Structure 1
Amino acid sequence: MLGLRLRSFLFNVGWYVGTAVIAIVGLPILLMPRRAVVAWADLWIDFCLWWLRITCRITHRVRGLENRPAGPVILACKHQSSWETLAFHRLFPNAATVLKRELVFIPVVGWAMARAGNIAVERGSGASALRGLLRQARATLAAGRSILIYPEGTRTPVGSDAPYQAGTAALYRQLGVPVVPVALNSGVFWGRRKFIKWPGVIDVEVLEPIPPGLDRETFMATLRERIEGATGRLVADAERRPAWNERGTSC
């Protein structure tokens, strides 16, 4: 356990220091075109994922990419960890992520999120928030980009049963494009608000798309069944691996 704590500590130190250096050195890039901001974000994310692999021995693999249709779609993704907020930018390039509006006010990092063309939504504003979400989403699709949304709206611990929010259903009904569910097990290795990061391979699975045209109740039930069913399977697979069974004696 001491070794795990040390590796997790080293990751956090490198993450914060590396982020600060990349942010300060690249600050003028915020004045440049969007493609330069995206390249800057790619550099930062690549550093973070590399440092995570070096210090905590966490890697990932992706299955089912062939299930994603050509053209813009709505990617509805399970959200268990900070990991996917980093990795999905690289796994699903050019997708606009739906995020909390307050995040774009974080110095440098938040400004870069906004300049990269993500979709910022005011949480708790009801109908006005949905109108703002739909307005930005339509502009994103018109630009030929996909939309990435976390249906639960926040990170949820492994095994939790959080409700799916209305935003995903609103996008599905109004935009008329397929919704591609995405399952994962990142929370097994990098838990929500957890300091320790356990070594292993994070699995991401792109599932069969849901075509447009279903009624709201059928759509939401289908989306939840596919994401939660696949996520439960991926979590169980991770927990059967030897590294999981050795957690009590890891050092």
Structure 2
Amino acid sequence: MTSIFVRSLIYNVLFYLLLTFWILVAVPTFVLPRRALMRVAKLWGQSSIWLMRVVCNTKVEFRGVEKIPQGPLIVAPKHQSMWETFALLQFFDAPVYILKRELTWIPFFGWLLMKADMIAINRQKRGRILMEMSRRAREEVHRGRQLIIFPEGTRTAVGAPPNYKAGVGQIYADCGAPCLPVALNSGLFWPRRQFMRYPGTLVVEFLDPLPAGLDRRTFIEQVSKLVETASNRLIEAGRKEQAELFGRVPSTNVQTAAPKVADRDLGHR
């Protein structure tokens, strides 16, 4: 495990140096169309994946890429790690994220987020957040963009009970676009709130899209079932691989058994 610690240290240092490099490269895109900035962002994501492969021996496998629809789209990935926030960029022409407004205050990085027309929300407007998110999401999706939204709202530990937010169903209904569920097991290799980066095969699986027009409750039930079932399968395979590599599953905030999706976990309150 000592070598894994050293590799993790090297990767984390190089990751932020690489991020700084791409921010500097992106500065000239302030005076260019948005697609120029998005091209740089995709290169950042791809280079960070490459770096993790070289330094940490973390291979990445993308499955079901052929299922990604063209045009306006809602993308609903499982969210276990920071990793997917940049790794998924490469697959979409005009991706847009919903993020907290405070991120746009970061010099250069935040300015680039604004240049990219990301949806920044003021979390202090508690009663109006969903309304504002839905309005902006609808506008951006109707412009032909791909909204990447994490249905659980925040990163969850591997094996933690799912908690799909009902508000995502409202955004889906308002946007009137198909939804692409995405399963993954990134939390085994880049655990949330942890320093360590682990070797193995990180898998992202694009699932069959859900059509537009489902009622909100049906949508939440279907997207959660699809994402959780596939993610649990990927997590199980990843655990087996890690057990072979280490003789045990590393401590990554992993629960011993992945829970079933219960109706109370679907965001209905």
C-alpha spacing 1:39/1:66, structure 2 compared with 1 (3 Å): closer
Q: 1:143 maps to which residue?
A: 143
Q: 1:39 maps to which residue?
A: 39
Tell whether the 8 Å contact from 1:182 to 1:227 is kept in structure 2 after alignment: yes
Q: % of aligned pairs identical?
A: 40
Q: 2:192 maps to which residue?
A: 192
SS in 2 for 1:246: helix
Tell whether the 8 Å contact from 2:72 to 2:143 is kept in structure 1 after alignment: no
1:222 partner letter: Q
In 2, the alpha carbon distance for the partners of 1:87 and 1:205 equals 13
Higher mean C-alpha deviation, range 211-220 or range 148-157: 211-220
Q: 1:128 maps to which residue?
A: 128
Count of aligned positions: 249
Higher mean C-alpha deviation, range 229-238 or range 202-211: 202-211
1:32 partner letter: L
Q: Deviations over 1:215-242 (max 9, x none)?
A: 322221111111111110110011122x
Shift of 1:103: 1.8
1:113 partner letter: L
Q: 5 Å matches for 1:50-69? A: 50-69=50-69
SS in 2 for 1:40: helix
C-alpha spacing 1:39/1:67, structure 2 compared with 1 (3 Å): closer
SS in 1 for 2:210: coil
In 2, the alpha carbon distance for the partners of 1:244 and 1:84 equals 24
Tell whether the 8 Å contact from 2:166 to 2:220 is kept in structure 1 after alignment: no
Q: 2:209 maps to which residue?
A: 209
Shift of 1:184: 0.4
Shift of 1:124: 5.5
TM-score normalized by structure 2? 0.84
Higher mean C-alpha deviation, range 124-133 or range 224-233: 124-133
C-alpha spacing 1:156/1:249, structure 2 compared with 1 (3 Å): closer
C-alpha spacing 1:197/1:171, structure 2 compared with 1 (3 Å): same
Shift of 1:248: 4.6
SS in 2 for 1:240: helix
Tell whether the 8 Å contact from 1:185 to 1:238 is kept in structure 2 after alignment: yes
In 2, the alpha carbon distance for the partners of 1:181 and 1:170 equals 16
Give the RMSD, CA atoms, in angstroms.
2.1
Shift of 1:76: 0.8
SS in 2 for 1:97: strand
Q: 1:110 maps to which residue?
A: 110
In 1, the alpha carbon distance for the partners of 2:212 and 2:32 equals 37
Q: 1:18 maps to which residue?
A: 18
Q: 2:88 maps to which residue?
A: 88
Q: 1:245 maps to which residue?
A: 244
2:205 partner letter: E
Q: 2:267 maps to which residue?
A: none
- The answer on 1:218 being equivalent to 2:241 is no
SS in 1 for 2:181: strand
Tell whether the 8 Å contact from 1:180 to 1:207 is kept in structure 2 after alignment: yes
Shift of 1:54: 1.2
In 2, the alpha carbon distance for the partners of 1:29 and 1:101 equals 21
**Structure 2 portions without partners, runs of 5+:** 250-269
Q: 2:262 maps to which residue?
A: none
Q: 1:4 maps to which residue?
A: 4
Higher mean C-alpha deviation, range 36-45 or range 48-57: 36-45
Higher mean C-alpha deviation, range 220-229 or range 20-29: 20-29
C-alpha spacing 1:132/1:52, structure 2 compared with 1 (3 Å): same
Q: Deviations over 1:142-184 (max 9, x none)?
A: 2211111001111111001142123311112212221221110
Shift of 1:190: 0.8
In 2, the alpha carbon distance for the partners of 1:204 and 1:10 equals 24
Q: 2:260 maps to which residue?
A: none
Tell whether the 8 Å contact from 1:151 to 1:168 is kept in structure 2 after alignment: yes
Shift of 1:26: 4.0
Shift of 1:127: 4.1
SS in 2 for 1:201: strand
